Structure 1
Amino acid sequence: MKEEISILIHGYNKNKNDMSTLAKNLEKLNYKCILVDLPLTYKEIDYAAFLFQEIIEKILKGINQNEKVNLIGHSAGGLIIRKYLLETKNIERIKSCVLIATPNSGSELADMAANYFKAFTHIFKTLKSLKTENAKMINFINDERIRIGAIAGKNDKLLLGKLLTEENDGRVTVKSVYYEGLEDFIILPYHHKEIHYKWKTAELVDDFIQTGRFVSEL
């Protein structure tokens, strides 16, 4: 069985090393993983998405023209994927996308930071991009050629999760991860910082890539 190529995108205030455990787990499931570094701390999402587009175009040029890749993003990395899908001319080269703990409808914590600590979001510009009003400006692609699934966490033991009134993973609400038009959606009992490190998450990513559904037993 030929290895499938999956490109992994880290989240806010992280680098590619944060996706290395997921990459190792996926490699055990016969995937070839490519980790990318993006400026997702002091730059806005639009700039990081522009750089990602350049990176992935180089990757696509380096493989067989008939070969497709999978995109897997944690947290803000999922928003990078969504922006790429809206702007790329190579949509047919993407097989499946999995968004893990992505604030698709924005981050309430980012809203709070902007309201009470305005200087904070002026410095950490990625956080500014995660505000509800800004995240909602990223349209949801509607293209039958693309399968997109999302995995949310529900474990608010992280301190900041106590500030959120709805079910959450300690950083992002379950409600924000979900959106109409997803091929499939599932909730795992993990918090935001651990969900992409878990073997079960890798299994579910594999399920979705192969079948379009999260079918592993929980």
Structure 2
Amino acid sequence: MDVTDAQYQAHHGEQVVIVHGLARSAWSMQNMSKGIADQGYQVCVVDYPTLRQPIENTLDKSAEELSRCILEFNDSRQKIDSQALAKHASGEHVPTNFALKNHAKIHFVGHSLGGLVIRSYLAEHPDFVHSEQMGNVVFVGTPNHGSDVADFFSDTWMLSLVGGTAESLTTNPESFPNRLPLPNYNFGVIAGTQSYPVFNGMFTKTNDGLVSVESTKLQGMQDFIEVDIKHDRLRRDPYVTGLIVQFLQSGQFEPVRE
């Protein structure tokens, strides 16, 4: 995706916080991270434990990392703004694209479980959500209503071996995803439609191999798009990254045709 110098400088005053999914790490999001950073955004990738963890620990650790990303970005913006103000006071020229800290947007992108982590964090930080810094959010293959695969293995030793976080991802009405409040901010949803043959028997509807398309949908979506891509590849496919960047910029996954 081509980007002009002016666009790069404009995006440089914005941060994108990226959150990985179950059984993954920050490293697993490097393709997406690089693709977004190449557009000029400051990128912070959250790393947190998910395997053999109770969901409470997963949320606590990820919340610490999300807060760290925001704090470090604000600290860096504060230094830049202070330098710009000092130059302005001394009569030096200051580029017009300097964004004051309070107006520098922070966006969020979550793949799979990462989307639920973002929803949980933002639900616990309403002051941030209502601030001028709150940007757009993209959920990629997120089981917003739980996963049929988790249902299938819920009564077996296999799911319990993975840990409480995995066990919390069923479609049960009282499961972790279904207890989260609906988002009260601008968000879009990307859903995959290419399944894994080994899991075909676990679904009755279109899915990405781990999450059904219907499970990704949430009331209040600003935009929604389906892509013919498997669940795991969603986090590293350049087309998906391009859709994410488009939504961060405009609140839509594809340009509006007049």
TM above 0.5, yes or no, is: yes
TM-score, reference length from structure 1: 0.90
Contact 2:48–2:65 under 8 Å retained in 1? no
Is 1:140 matched up with 2:140?
no
How far apart, CA to CA, are the structure 1 residues paired with 2:253 and 2:123?
A: 24
Q: Which of these residues, 206, 210, 215, is aligned with residue 249 of structure 2?
A: 210
Deviations, residues 137-173 of structure 1 (Å, cap 9, x unaligned): 11212x3xx2111100000135224421110001110
CA deviation after TM superposition for structure 1 residue 125, in Å: 1.6
Equivalent positions of 1:114-125 (< 5 A) are 114-115=154-155, 117-118=156-157, 120-121=159-160, 123-125=162-164
How far apart, CA to CA, are the structure 1 residues paired with 2:42 and 2:200?
A: 34
Equivalent positions of 1:2-151 (< 5 A) are 2=10, 3=12, 4-62=14-72, 63=74, 64=77, 65-66=101-102, 67-88=104-125, 89-91=127-129, 92=131, 93-115=133-155, 117-118=156-157, 120-121=159-160, 123-133=162-172, 134=175, 135-141=177-183, 143=184, 146-151=185-190
Is 1:181 matched up with 2:220?
yes
Given the superposition, is the C-alpha separation of residues 172 and 60 from structure 1 closer, same or farther in structure 2, using an over 3 Å criterion?
same
User: How high is the sequence identity, in percent, across the aligned residues?
Assistant: 27
How far apart, CA to CA, are the structure 2 residues paired with 1:40 and 1:158?
A: 25
- After superposition, the CA RMSD in angstroms is 1.8
Q: Which moved more, 1:59-68 or 1:150-159?
A: 59-68
Count residues in correspondence: 213
Contact 1:204–1:216 under 8 Å retained in 2? no
Deviations, residues 11-67 of structure 1 (Å, cap 9, x unaligned): 011111111110111122222211111111222333222222222223323313412
CA deviation after TM superposition for structure 1 residue 103, in Å: 0.3
TM-score, reference length from structure 2: 0.77
Q: Which of these residues, 195, 203, 208, is aligned with residue 164 of structure 1?
A: 203
After superposing on structure 2, the runs of 4+ consecutive aligned residues of structure 1 that deviate more than 4 Å are none
Contact 1:104–1:136 under 8 Å retained in 2? yes
Secondary structure of 1:99's match?
Answer: strand
Whichever of the two has the greater Rg, that structure is 2
CA deviation after TM superposition for structure 1 residue 196, in Å: 1.7
Contact 1:12–1:40 under 8 Å retained in 2? yes
Secondary structure of 1:136's match?
Answer: helix
Secondary structure of 2:144's match?
Answer: coil
How far apart, CA to CA, are the structure 1 residues paired with 2:162 and 2:209?
A: 23
Contact 1:99–1:148 under 8 Å retained in 2? yes
